[in-house]
Amino acid sequence: MNPDSRSISHTEAPALSPVLVRISEAFAGIVDEVLRVFGAESCKPLSSEYYLIRTATPAAVRQSREGIFARWNLPLDHAWPCNPSKMEGFIDKAANTLLQKFGARKPQAVFIGLLNPGSPDRYFRNLAANLRDRVLRVFPSLLVQNVEEQNPEADTLFCLVGKEGLYCGMASPRASNGFYPGGSKFIGTHTPDTISRAGAKIAEALHYLGLHRPPLPTGSRWLELGACPGGMTSELLNRHFRVTAIDVAALDKRLDGHPGLTFIRQNVAEFHPTDQVSYDALLCDMNGPPADSIRQVVRLSRCLAHGGIVVFTLKLPRVESVAAPLHLLDATVATATAGGLRLFARTHLTYNRHEFTLFFERGT
């Protein structure tokens, strides 16, 4: 046979990349479906929310529509499966290994978190703090010491530690979807002056917003839809913002007389501000059908200054599949876009349950 008449194809299997993915327990029933979309060829659960997957399409974790279900992700550059509590000299060995593997790549910072952040066991919390102290001594020149000072677009060395071992990688905070390892900022919700856990939700949303926008200046004006009982209102006021809060129910008495607060006890659908009023940001955490909520947001967004932002909580019905929440997300974004709002970020926050947080800005 003439060799030229034969066509022989040799195709190599695509290389698999390890990626550490965090998916909230709120979506535990659809984890397998989400990971299939990410192209996971294998999966190793490391805790109740962290999954070590191997995929030929790591970009899908960040760029696919389904990526919103992944609260945080990290390309895994180094894994040390072990039990640190049973290893003598773990901290020194780990710190020196991190310097050898990542020192030449010059991360802007090194931050170390927990694979099981909700555990009451303080051993690994103390271990993470002690390991970071040691890392700071051996790394010659880190540009950033504090989480809030990170450049969202520059690479940070993120590490997670637990009884399963040490797992590390480098990525920018924006690419990994959070300033902290794991994407979580601990915000206490049990202080005597806490009105509701919703305050922690907006605090986390504002922290997350720093991945994409400079912080709003002190004195910025917020319009809050569906404010009762006032957990988010209180948090905004504590940050020295001015808040116009709208709700048919009364706010918590602790907010009475606050100088930065204007409270209008009225149904949001009946609220019609004057044309002279302008706001820097609009917050909507209303319950009820999302289609109704986003229509009110679009209607009132005419009161936003150019470039003003919207923080919108998309309430999801019972989550039994990937498709239904994404369909609702697409419909919500389409309504907002038609009304002159541009989606620039979306995420599932630590303090979200069956809901997403969407960030829009007003265009021309």
pLDDT in tens, 136-184: 999 988 999 999 999 999 999 999 999 999 999 999 999 999 999 999 8
pLDDT, tens digit, for every residue of 326-363? 999 999 999 999 999 999 999 999 999 999 999 999 98
**Residue 317: strand, helix, or coil:** coil
Return the pLDDT at 189.
Answer: 60
Q: If pLDDT is split at 50, 70 and 90, which confidence band does 20 have?
A: very high
Whether 106 shows a pLDDT value over 90: the answer reads yes
Mean per-residue pLDDT, 113-123: 89
Q: If pLDDT is split at 50, 70 and 90, which confidence band does 276 have?
A: confident
Return the pLDDT at 4.
Answer: 42
- For residue 257, CA distances in Å to 252, 261, 262 come to 11, 8, 9
Structure tokens at 150: 């990170």
Mean per-residue pLDDT, 38-60: 96
Mean per-residue pLDDT, 198-212: 94
- Percentage of residues of the chain with pLDDT beyond 70: 94
For the chain, domains (ranges, CATH) are: 17-176 (3.30.2130.30), 198-362 (3.40.50.150)
- For residue 334, CA distances in Å to 104, 157, 250, 298, 337 come to 45, 37, 33, 11, 5
Q: How far apart are CA 162 and CA 46, in angstroms?
A: 9
Return the pLDDT at 117.
Answer: 86
Give the chain's mean pLDDT: 92
What is the enclosing helix (H) or strand (E) of 161? strand 156-162
Return the pLDDT at 139.
Answer: 93
Q: If pLDDT is split at 50, 70 and 90, which confidence band does 298 have?
A: very high
Crossing angle of helices 90-102/123-138, nearest 10°? 50
- Percentage of residues of the chain with pLDDT beyond 90: 86
Return the pLDDT at 12.
Answer: 66
More confident residue, 30 or 189: 30
Mean per-residue pLDDT, 274-296: 94
Return the pLDDT at 11.
Answer: 57
Return the pLDDT at 198.
Answer: 87
pLDDT, tens digit, for every residue of 217-275? 999 999 999 999 999 999 999 999 999 999 999 999 999 999 999 999 999 999 998 87
Return the pLDDT at 9.
Answer: 46
Return the pLDDT at 2.
Answer: 40
Of 245, 216, 179, 251, the C-alpha closest to 359 is: 216
**Using an 8 Å Cβ cutoff, are 232 and 224 in contact?**
yes
Return the pLDDT at 6.
Answer: 39
Q: How far apart are CA 147 and CA 169, in angstroms?
A: 17
**Using an 8 Å Cβ cutoff, are 291 and 230 in contact?**
no
Whether 7 shows a pLDDT value over 70: the answer reads no
Question: Structure pTM?
Answer: 0.92
Structure tokens at 24: 């909230």
